[in-house]
Amino acid sequence: MLRTRFTEVTGVEHPVASAGMGGGATSGELVGAVSEAGGLGVLGASFLPPDDVADMVRSARERTSKPIGVNLLLHATEDRIDEILALGPEVFSTAWPRDDQDLAPIFAKAHERGCKVMHMVPLVEDAVRAADAGADVIVAQGNEGGGHIGEVASTVIVRQVVKAVSPLPVLAAGGFVDGAGLAAALALGADGVLLGTRFLATDEAPVEQAYKDAIVTSDGTDTVMTTLSDSLSGRDWPGAWARLKRTRFVEHWLGREPELRRRRAELWDEVGAFQESNADDGLMWIGQSAGLIDSVEPAGDVVRRIVAEAEEIIAALGR
């Protein structure tokens, strides 16, 4: 069994966590499956109605008695912190604060509720800021990941963050998908991995089958870093790009973000309707690690296989 500072701090069995992907990309079923298998399942609560989040937490608790996490994007949902903490997650997962937000009282409030704080960062200075504010775990996110990301590759940002916040536990995110990735993350000094795209391609992920098919058929070269999705949604992210699959919709609007922002009210519902019937006319937030995923599997099997592969690789390196 791989024991790290992350497993010690959070009380989970394995150094594997699922990303708290927002907007309905996670579910109680997915979170419960990851945690029951010994990882840390994290529910993405941002942009979801409070009652839906509470129902998902109850659903996860029905599937496991092990630790779970709930994620909030601090720049957009600071007013929901008390509501999320009242649900009693063992881990309060946070990301993307505003530059002027004071993280210390937010993290202190979580600690008062008995939660550990896991904060994701795209830059080393953000890691230091979170560590100084009292975070218990730092997630160093590389630009290979799907969704909102920074500009630094995983092999660089992980090592930078490990050196900057030691002895705090660090998870590596962005481009990690299997046991080789976990072993590599540990070699970089991290204490585990956080996976998003890999857990979208699972039986329990609440995304369309076309979304999952797009992941397993990807060769890893069909994504792009852009601000297009934020131009469409009208949400301003603090210093972030988003990695999206190059769908027909994305190809059509790349480089035309100002026009897209002006027409977002007209196009937003259209994109949602297209995505239900034809994902290639919508938006899909997937990372380059899709090129390493060739099947949709149960989430628990993903956790167990990653750990078994990593243990085998580490043992072989020690011979």
Using DSSP bridges, classify how beta strands 193-195 and 16-18 pair: parallel, antiparallel or unpaired. parallel
* β partners of residue 140: 121, 172
Which pair of structure tokens corresponds to residue 276? Answer: 């239900």
pLDDT score, position 33: 99
**How does pLDDT run across 115-172, given as a tens digit for each residue?**
999 999 999 999 999 999 999 999 999 999 998 899 999 999 999 999 999 999 999 9
Written as one string, the DSSP assignment of 49-73 is -HHHHHHHHHHHHHH-SS-EEEEEE
Q: How confident is the model at residue 27 (pLDDT cuts 50, 70, 90)?
A: very high
Spell out the residues 6+ positions from residue 69 whose beta carbon is closer than 8 angstroms to its own.
Answer: 17, 20, 31, 40, 41, 42, 43, 89, 90, 91, 92, 93, 118
Q: What is the average per-residue pLDDT within 216-229?
A: 91
Q: How many CB atoms lie within 10 A of CB 144?
A: 22
How far is 18 from 107, CA to CA, in rounded Å?
Answer: 21
* Cα→Cα distances 159→123, 124, 191, 287, Å: 11, 9, 11, 20
At residue 279, the pLDDT reads 65
pTM of this prediction? 0.94
pLDDT of residue 275: 57
Domain regions of the chain by residue span: 5-207+296-317, 209-288
Confidence category of residue 243, pLDDT binned at 50, 70, 90: very high
Q: What does the pLDDT read at residue 81? A: 94
Order of strands across the sheet that contains 116-121 = 16-18, 193-195, 170-173, 137-141, 116-121, 91-95, 68-73, 41-44
Q: Which two tokens stand for residue 211?
A: 């979304």
Tell me, what's the pLDDT at 195? 99
286, pLDDT greater than 60? yes
The pLDDT value given to residue 49: 92
Q: What percent of the chain has pLDDT over 90?
A: 76
Residue 52, pLDDT score: 96
Hey, which CATH number is domain 5-207+296-317, 3.30.360.10, 3.20.20.70, 3.40.47.10, 3.30.2350.10? 3.20.20.70
pLDDT value for 207: 92
Per-residue confidence (pLDDT) for residue 213, from 0 to 100:
93
Token digits of residue 236: 């301003």
Predicted confidence (pLDDT) per residue in 175-208, tens digit? 999 999 999 999 999 999 999 999 999 999 999 8
Rounded to an integer, what distance in angstroms lies between the CA atom of residue 286 and that of residue 195? 11
Contact 190, 172 (CB under 8 A): yes
What average pLDDT is seen over the chain?
93
Confidence of residue 58 (pLDDT cuts 50, 70, 90): very high
Residue recorded with tokens 């903490």: 85
**More confident: 309 or 242:** 309
High-pLDDT (> 70) share of the chain, %: 95
Residue 297's DSSP bridge partners are: 202
